[in-house]
Structure 1
Amino acid sequence: MLLAILLMAGAAATQPTLAVIMKPLLDDGFAGTKPHYVWAIPLAVVGLIFIRGVCNFFSDYLLAWVANNVLLGMRKDMFDRLLGLPDAEFKRGDSGRLLNRFTIDAGNVTGYATDVLTVLVRETLVVCALIVVLLYMSWKLTLIVIFMLPVSVLVARTFIKRLRRINRDTVNMNAELTRVVSEGIDGQRVIKLFDGYENESKRFGYVSGRLRRFAMRSATADAAMTPLTQICIAISVAAVIAVALGEASSGTLTAGGFAAFMAALAQIFDPIKRLTNIAGKMQKMLVAAESVFSLIDEQQESDKGTAHFQGPVQGRIAFRGVSHRFPDSQRDTLSDIELLVEPGQTVALVGRSGSGKTTLVNMIPRFVSPTGGQILIDGHDIEALALRDLRAQLSLVSQDVVLFDDTIGANVGYGALHDASEEEIRRALADANLLDFVDSLPDGLNTQVGENAARMSGGQRQRLAIARALIKNAPVLILDEATSALDNESERQVQISLERLMQGRTTLVIAHRLSTVQKADIIVVLDAGRIVEQGRHADLLAANGLYASLYAMQFQED
């Protein structure tokens, strides 16, 4: 950066020198008093232009090197911060804005910053050097120019606040555009089947229209600064010519001196105009920087725990007086939950939608924190445990399987398990009833699953997630409606794989299909955030309570 600034200073120094050459050229060169000017001055002009070109090239290269390295580091910081955000941040549905920060805002920060820095340093040095030359040529004429410069600056400042507001609106609307297009891609089948073309087209048209209006407002403000600045320049030039003619008549200013002064004055207008116009880019840079650094400055999920498990984890989970209420909610999601899960037990959580089942299991990996009570694993308060140490003991298989656009082998041995051998991966796939399918593929374990595993069926995706959980071999397993979206044949295959996965592990199962949890050691029935019943399947049916009612309702539907 420092070297780039020095090179810009070198390029700036060549510009006023070209103006200074005008005085000896006109006063002595054309008079013929110094014949060597015939070759000396042309060589000087070529040399100065060559030096300026070399300095500009290397300063631009170095600035680009700095900007791209800053962009690299900034995006790394953003992504690290993104992965460490609390789970609640991702439920706000602001994915369009998040993507926009990476793809547009981060690039705008460094791109505009490079342009702004280049113009500010280079053009400021040029203006200062030219003002020195002007003062040397004629201080009277220079005072006129200096007087008009602040007027130009004041004119430009009137547009800065408006440009900043417009650019902030543009950033927000760009995020909305990203969201609309992303939803159009993800929901294309729904749009086609439910004839939502016109609706989506209207949404896209509205956002695009707003962006066009913001762009036109910004362009109007940018365009208005140029003619207003030129009017100030014209006034100053007219005043300079009038005063210069008066000095020429009195013999205090030669034709060469006036030509050199005008050459320097003519060169000063362009850098002043660029300095004036940089206000628009500077506002865009600042707005983009606000967006980027608001992500970098986001609060990370709490990880104040320092305790670690000593020895193998048994998997005893105790909920003691656990309650939870979401921010701005009028009632508790969970109230006074008392539950003990012994090592190796399978506990099923059932109840109506909204009864708090998912919130309860999400507390175990600390995706959600209780507002009251505590959760213990093997006697350790999970809030006191280091977050990575806690999550290393947990596996999750949910209805919404997340697979990465990579090979089958990479997905099974994902994350901290990337050193898993091919034999371990194949064994996990065999236990998940998926090895025969994988071996039938031309590339086997190296087969790409595609974006969102679009090349695999729902049952295959679930069994791949089960294989991933098997290879992790965590003592605590969470199954969140793992078979609810499958057909009967796929559900049967997945259920067999799940039974293998559950062996010897403490398992918490959330299920809407009560037929899948009849073999559970304990069935816990939740209603309105409270435990209303718990026991084995036969005992709960005999009690003829809420569980029996839910079971009878599903039996009738089946």
Structure 2
Amino acid sequence: MSKHRKDKLTEVMPSLRHVMTRLAPYLRGHRAVLGGSVVALLAATAMKLLEPWPLKFVIDRVVPTVAGEGATVASLPPMTLLALCSVGLVAIVGFKALFQYLSTVGFALVGTRVLTAVRTDLFRHLQTLSLGFHARSRTGDLTMRLVSDVGMLKETAVTAALPLAANLLVLGGMLTVMLFLDWRLALLALSPLPLLWLVSLRLTRRIRDVSRAQRKREGELASTGAETMAGIRTIQALGLEDRASDDFGAASARDLRAGVKGKRLAAGLERSVDLLTGLGLAIVLFFGARQVMAGQITPGDLLVFFTYLKNTFRPVREYAKYTARLAKAAAAGERVVALLDEVPEVRDARGAVAAPQLDGRVTFEDVTFGYGPGAPTLNGLSVDVASGEMVAITGPSGAGKSTFASLIPRLYDPARGRVLIDGHDLRSLTLASLRANIALVPQETLIFRGTLAENIALGAGREVTPEEIEAAARLANAHGFIAAQPDGYDTVIAERGATLSAGQRQRIAIARAALRRAPVLILDEPTVGLDRTSEAAVTEAIWRLAEGRTTFLVTHDLTMAARAGRILHLDGGRIAEDGSHAALMAAGGRYAAMWAGGEDARRAVAG
């Protein structure tokens, strides 16, 4: 935001207005409730304006009559008028409370519904964003935007902006009545307002800047905590608890300093408002009392003036009270809107069609891809893999093996060239239909909290029967350990599969892939970190799973790669060698040199 824009009085909270404008479409389905809430708010405002008038009648009509002066309205007895005024006051206060309740509940209902819709859309949108975006982002910060920042929008819509809107309506009504009663006294009473506005403008701009910075630090704090918890095993194993605590403590201290500064500024603004409010009341008391003594206004008029003036200054005081919360909500809203406006790097092209029944022939045509500036990870790579062929992808660390595999399900798009399946450019097919034709067994299996059967059925893309789940588990060599669980397939496992071994988790992933019935299979380092027994069980399951599928096996285990019918040895982002194990050994190239290093050396090659 430019300095010029910040200095404009009409741009005190530009980011907040931008956020509310961006989220306005979410209100379309709630117009009836929203309209009723607005009507209730207007009715509550009218009751607020009427509230001091019964007391005015008592002072102007009843008290003088009891003292032997003046006359009551329509010659009513003083006690009758007093009773009517008392009943009227109760009715006004009662209706005000009712209308305020209805408006508060209505706006809260709309706010909660909108909050739920925004959070759901944001979560869905996050899952469509490309891996490149997620690689640049911190998980803790994204989680905070999804949970805490969206929640803060409710503060904007219900607990801060709504009271201010109500007070501004009251302000407009009371100013009108005061000008009607005595415009000279009204102008004198409101004389501190320009000074009050300038003070609040200067301080609220600083509060907004501090709140925006604090929200950013809170995101960093959440990221630090999430990353520490995710790596707690490594931290404990390496004795890094003190280091992690120091890093988190430093981030927390920075957040604390920003919070204290924001509170100090908000408190200073509130006290400034109190001081100037007192000045306005003193002016009304002095000049108003003189006008009463001169007979220009009644004591009741002065009472109404005094009551209205206190309420006139309240919106500014409330603005001071809620400024920090509004500023934090605006900063949170900016972060949510920025995420909603993030355009996925990989998305369905205009005119993309659903994939037909595919056989699984995969072709790379002069593909170049890089994660950022500098040398590309893949450079001019071309290869044709026949349907049903099993290809092992090997090479040293950084050769582009996993990147090669990631281009097939369009987790990334090539910078140059194209990837085809059965002759179709991947970008001409919808993402959902393309990925439905690809099964993946990753290096680290994602396990959700739930039953073993539910975890196996994940990703099948269709309803599956218990018999199909068991058949897939048997193919994956998982049935034995599942049957040994207390509740078999209905056993509930912990989040992230903490109660399963690495080999068991990997066999769950293989069972998932078996249920997918996809013509293309990608195996990304499926045996890394497994003991010999688990590795043997997983490897046996892999060969069964690969039957009849076009299979890409990314591996650093050359013993495993040798069993594939074809090997692509990558180096420097290019295919350095292409052929069977026997052919590459006979060629005596880089693959043969790695093989000659012995089994231990081969297993030590980083993936």
TM norm structure 2: 0.88
Deviation sequence 1:391-430 (CA, Å, 0-9, x none): 1111111211112222111111113534111111110111
Q: Does 1:313 align with 2:351?
A: no
Q: Does 1:22 align with 2:70?
A: no
Partner of 1:389: 433
Moved more, 232-241 or 494-503: 232-241
Give the superposition deviation at 1:279: 3.2
Partner of 1:221: 265
Contact residue 347 and residue 509 of structure 1 kept, 8 A:
yes
Moved more, 432-441 or 453-462: 432-441
Equivalent residue in structure 2 for 1:326, among 354, 359, 371 = 371
Contact residue 428 and residue 468 of structure 1 kept, 8 A:
yes
Give the superposition deviation at 1:309: 4.0
SS of 1:420's partner is: coil
CA pair 474-20 structure 1, distance change in 2 beyond 3 A:
same
CA pair 338-268 structure 1, distance change in 2 beyond 3 A:
closer
Deviation sequence 1:34-57 (CA, Å, 0-9, x none): 421231111111111111111111
Query: In structure 2, how many angstroms separate the alpha carbons of the residues matched to 1:263 and 1:356?
Result: 75
Query: In structure 2, how many angstroms separate the alpha carbons of the residues matched to 1:106 and 1:335?
Result: 42
SS of 2:383's partner is: strand
Give the superposition deviation at 1:93: 4.0
CA pair 117-200 structure 1, distance change in 2 beyond 3 A:
same
Give the superposition deviation at 1:272: 3.7
Q: Does 1:12 align with 2:32?
A: no
Query: In structure 1, how many angstroms separate the alpha carbons of the residues matched to 2:40 and 2:584?
Result: 82
Equivalent residue in structure 1 for 2:587, among 527, 543, 548 = 543
Equivalent residue in structure 2 for 1:450, among 483, 487, 494 = 494
Equivalent residue in structure 1 for 2:341, among 285, 288, 297 = 297
Contact residue 393 and residue 554 of structure 2 kept, 8 A:
yes
Q: Does 1:284 align with 2:328?
A: yes
Q: Which residue identity is paired with 1:547? A: Y
Query: In structure 1, how many angstroms separate the alpha carbons of the residues matched to 2:58 and 2:88?
Result: 12
Give the superposition deviation at 1:338: 2.2
Query: In structure 1, how many angstroms separate the alpha carbons of the residues matched to 2:114 and 2:220?
Result: 27
Query: What pairs with 1:10-409 in structure 2 (closer than 5 Å)?
Result: 10-30=43-63, 31-32=65-66, 33=71, 34-35=77-78, 36-300=80-344, 301-304=346-349, 306-310=352-356, 312-328=357-373, 330-409=374-453
CA pair 431-37 structure 1, distance change in 2 beyond 3 A:
same
Partner of 2:25: none
Query: In structure 1, how many angstroms separate the alpha carbons of the residues matched to 2:56 and 2:600?
Result: 104
Contact residue 54 and residue 86 of structure 2 kept, 8 A:
no
Query: What pairs with 1:449-468 in structure 2 (closer than 5 Å)?
Result: 449-468=493-512
Moved more, 544-553 or 115-124: 115-124
Q: Which residue identity is paired with 1:323? A: T
Partner of 2:515: 471
Q: Which residue identity is paired with 1:411? A: N
Contact residue 208 and residue 327 of structure 2 kept, 8 A:
yes
Equivalent residue in structure 1 for 2:550, among 490, 506, 518 = 506
SS of 1:484's partner is: coil
Structure 2 stretches lacking a partner, 5+ long: 1-33, 72-76
Give the superposition deviation at 1:18: 2.5
SS of 1:461's partner is: helix
Q: Which residue identity is paired with 2:178? A: L
Give the superposition deviation at 1:470: 0.6
Query: In structure 1, how many angstroms separate the alpha carbons of the residues matched to 2:103 and 2:259?
Result: 31
CA pair 115-176 structure 1, distance change in 2 beyond 3 A:
same
CA pair 538-123 structure 1, distance change in 2 beyond 3 A:
same
Contact residue 5 and residue 121 of structure 1 kept, 8 A:
no
Q: Does 1:3 align with 2:48?
A: no
Query: In structure 1, how many angstroms separate the alpha carbons of the residues matched to 2:600 and 2:491?
Result: 43
* Root-mean-square deviation over aligned CA pairs: 1.8
CA pair 60-556 structure 1, distance change in 2 beyond 3 A:
closer
SS of 1:532's partner is: strand
SS of 2:381's partner is: strand
Give the superposition deviation at 1:143: 0.8
Query: In structure 2, how many angstroms separate the alpha carbons of the residues matched to 1:246 and 1:549?
Result: 105
SS of 2:523's partner is: strand
Contact residue 439 and residue 521 of structure 2 kept, 8 A:
yes
Deviation sequence 1:75-98 (CA, Å, 0-9, x none): 111011111111211112411111
Q: Which residue identity is paired with 2:51? A: L
Give the superposition deviation at 1:461: 0.6
Q: Does 1:411 align with 2:471?
A: no
Query: In structure 1, how many angstroms separate the alpha carbons of the residues matched to 2:144 and 2:187?
Result: 48
Query: In structure 1, how many angstroms separate the alpha carbons of the residues matched to 2:419 and 2:162?
Result: 57
Query: In structure 2, how many angstroms separate the alpha carbons of the residues matched to 1:317 and 1:78?
Result: 34
Give the superposition deviation at 1:477: 0.8
SS of 1:373's partner is: strand
SS of 1:417's partner is: coil
Contact residue 325 and residue 333 of structure 1 kept, 8 A:
yes
SS of 2:363's partner is: strand
Deviation sequence 1:455-503 (CA, Å, 0-9, x none): 1111111111000001111111111110021111100000110010011
Query: In structure 2, how many angstroms separate the alpha carbons of the residues matched to 1:245 and 1:508?
Result: 91
Partner of 1:422: 466
Partner of 2:24: none
Contact residue 349 and residue 524 of structure 1 kept, 8 A:
yes
Deviation sequence 1:363-405 (CA, Å, 0-9, x none): 1111121122222211222222222221111111121111222
Query: In structure 1, how many angstroms separate the alpha carbons of the residues matched to 2:323 and 2:118?
Result: 24
Structure 1 stretches lacking a partner, 5+ long: none
Q: Which residue identity is paired with 1:362? A: S
Q: Which residue identity is paired with 2:244? A: E
